[in-house]
Structure 1
Amino acid sequence: MLSRWTKAATSLVDSQLRTAGWQIPLDEKGNYVINLNGLRGSLPSLPENSLQRVAEHCDELFTPVCKTLAEDINTITHLLLELETSCDLEERKSTRESELDTASPSLDQDNDLVQANMVRGPQDLVHRERLFSKGRRLSYPPPTPIIIPSTHPRAPSIMISPCGSQNQEKTCRVPYQDSAFGKMLTVPSHPSYNDYPPSNADPAFFKLASFA
C-alpha cells in the first residue's frame, strides 16, 4: 500500500519536474531514483534566524492557551476548596445537632428528677403545707425551675426559676415627647421645666402662682 502511494507521488513529482525541464532517472527495475543530495542543493537555503521566527510564532500561539489553562486550573482548585470547606461546615453542623438531640433527653430527665426531689424533699413538704394553708391567696403552685447541667466539671449548672407576672409601676411613667424637641424629657410635677409639648405649662398656672 505504501509502495503504491510512493510510486504515485513520485510519478506526480516526475511529471511536474518534466514540465519544468527536469527528469527523475529510473533504475533497472523501473523504479525512480532520487538523488537526495542534489535535491537538497536545489532547495533554497534557510535563513539564520528561521528557528527564532518559528519559536516566536509558537510563543504567540501557545502563550494565551497556557494562560487560559492556568486560569481554568486556578478556578477549579478554588471551587474544589470552597466545596470542601462547605462540606466540612455542614458535617460540623450535623454533628452539633445530633449532639444536642442526644443531650436533650438527658436534660428532660434531669428536670424530672429535680421536680420529683422537690416534691419529695422535707423542705418542700413544709412549703406545700404552707401553700395549702394559704390556698385562699395562692390558687396554683409555683412553676418548676429549669436546670441546664454543665458540660464541664469545673463549670456550674444553670438553674432558671420562672416567676409570675408583676403589676407595672405607673407613677414613674412620662408622656411621650414630641419628635421636634429631640432628646428633651419632661419632668413630672415641675411645670416650669416643661415649656414644650406634650407637657406645655398653662400660662394661667403661672399667674395664679405669682399672685399667691
Structure 2
Amino acid sequence: MKLKYFILLFVLVIPLSGCVIPSDFYGMAVDPRNTSQHDHDIYLEYQVSMAILNDRTATNLVEHGMVEIHAFYGQVFIAGEYDTKAQESKAMTLARNVPGVSSVKAYLLPRQEGKACKKPSKFGVRMALQSASEVHSTNMKVGRVQCDIVLFGIVTGTDEADRAIAAAKTVKDVGKEISFLMIPPEKK
C-alpha cells in the first residue's frame, strides 16, 4: 500500500511541483536561460495553450494539434494551421493577452487537405542540425507546417542561426525554412 502512494507521489506530485524530470537534465544544462526564466517560459507556453483551449473560437487549434507553442525569454512563437481566419486572429489575441508575454510571432497557414507536397521529416531536420558544425541543436526545436520547417530556439548569434537554417535546407522535401531562432537578450 505504501508503494502505491510513493509511486503516485512520484508520478503526479513531483512533476507538478516544478522539479526537473531526469530526461530533461541535459537540456537544462545546456539551456542558456536561468532556471527561473526557463520555468517562466514553460508557464507561458502552458498559459497560452490553456487560453486557446478555453476559447470556443480557437479551441480546435490546440485540441487537434494544429499549432505548436513555444516561449523563449517571454516571447511566444506559434506555428501551425487554422481552419478559419477567426481562429488565427483569436489565437494571436489570446496569446498577446497572457500576462508576462512580451511579444507574439506566428507562422500560421490555412489548413489544406491533400496539399500536393511531400512533408519533410522533422527527424531528418533534427539529424541535419546535430550533424551541422557549430550548431547547438539541443537548444532548438523543430516544427512542421505543411511542407515548411519551423526552427524554434536559442542560438549564440546570427552565424549559428544561419548554419541551422542551411542545415535544414539540406533535408529532402523541405519547402521553406522559417526561423524563430533568437539570440538571448544579454548577447545582443
Identify the TM-score tier after normalising by the shorter chain: under 0.3
If asked which structure has higher relative contact order (CA below 8 Å, sep 6+), I would say: 2
- Taking structure 1 as the reference length, what is the TM-score of the superposition? 0.17
- Taking structure 2 as the reference length, what is the TM-score of the superposition? 0.19
Structure ranking higher in helix proportion: 1
